[in-house]
Amino acid sequence: MMNTNCDHVVDYLNGTLTAEEKQTFEQHLATCADCRELVDAVGELPYLAEPAEPPVGMKSRILANVFEEEPQKQAEPKRPVEKEKTVPMVKPKARRSSWAPLIAAVLLLSLLGNAYALFKLADEQQPATESAFQSIELQPGEAFGGSAKAAIIQEEGSLEVVVQAEQLEQLQGDEVYQIWLLKEGQPVPAGAFTPDADQQGSAYYSMTENTEGWDTIAITREPEAGNETPEGEIVLSSEI
């Protein structure tokens, strides 16, 4: 019996056992020091490989895909409320891109309206909620021709960011324009977008945690979506 199991070691290493056979062999592995040593010795062979330099951006691509692959049921229930709300227009460019600036514009107007209403309210009554509205013109980095405006609306318990950008350079491959909020040099992602055919792009982002103390807003050109820390160059930025 033992010998029969030991015979399976080569097939085990070559991944040609059925699930059932594999399970049986693994039970055997737990009790047979000889086979375990063999498997461990073979496990050293990869170190024979010549070092190869991983492709640029591989880590963020892989990690983004790994965490994306997570079944939605598991991902959602933990923090259902304050997920980022972007208006990304990432994939179906032709159909949706022309709507995105409009959506952003409507949102911006709506938020402006809210802010105005709140200001009025604050004037007329004792301030029930703190609210602040800020319109910011972002400065392009060296050799970048685009421009962008951001509106930041802070209310008690939430922070809304709307960005509208123009004359953007077209992106390549999986690249996106990523918006960041920074506090003492520490960035957090605050929405992303890709330009449409008219080189315009916009995004809306809402956060309910950590809403205060941001000192800078910046836009980078990232090699792919979903980066938690910036990899690309800053193309537009401004103090808040």
- Chain residues that interact with another protein, rule: CB under 8 A: 9-10, 13-16, 26, 29-30, 36-52, 54-55, 58-59, 61-63, 65-67, 69-71, 74
In eight-state DSSP terms, residue 97 is T
Tell me how far, at minimum, the Cβ of 82 lies from another protein, in Å: 17
Residue carrying structure tokens 């318990």: 157
1: Cα separation from own chain's centroid: 53
Nearer to another protein, 61 or 183 (CB): 61
Nearer to another protein, 15 or 80 (CB): 15
Tell me how far, at minimum, the Cβ of 71 lies from another protein, in Å: 8
Tell me how far, at minimum, the Cβ of 29 lies from another protein, in Å: 6
Nearer to another protein, 59 or 83 (CB): 59
Q: How far is the CA of 30 from the CAs of 7, 13, 22, 207, in angstroms? A: 15, 15, 12, 50
- Name residue 98's beta-bridge partners: none
Nearer to another protein, 6 or 171 (CB): 6
φ, ψ for residue 42, nearest 5 deg: -65, -35
Strands 147-155 and 158-166: antiparallel
Tell me how far, at minimum, the Cβ of 55 lies from another protein, in Å: 6
Tell me how far, at minimum, the Cβ of 57 lies from another protein, in Å: 10
Nearer to another protein, 51 or 92 (CB): 51
User: What's the sign of the alpha-carbon dihedral 7, 9, 14, 16?
Assistant: positive
Distance CA 113, CA 181 (A): 23
Count how many Cα atoms sit within 13 Å of the Cα of residue 233 in the half-sphere of its side chain: 6
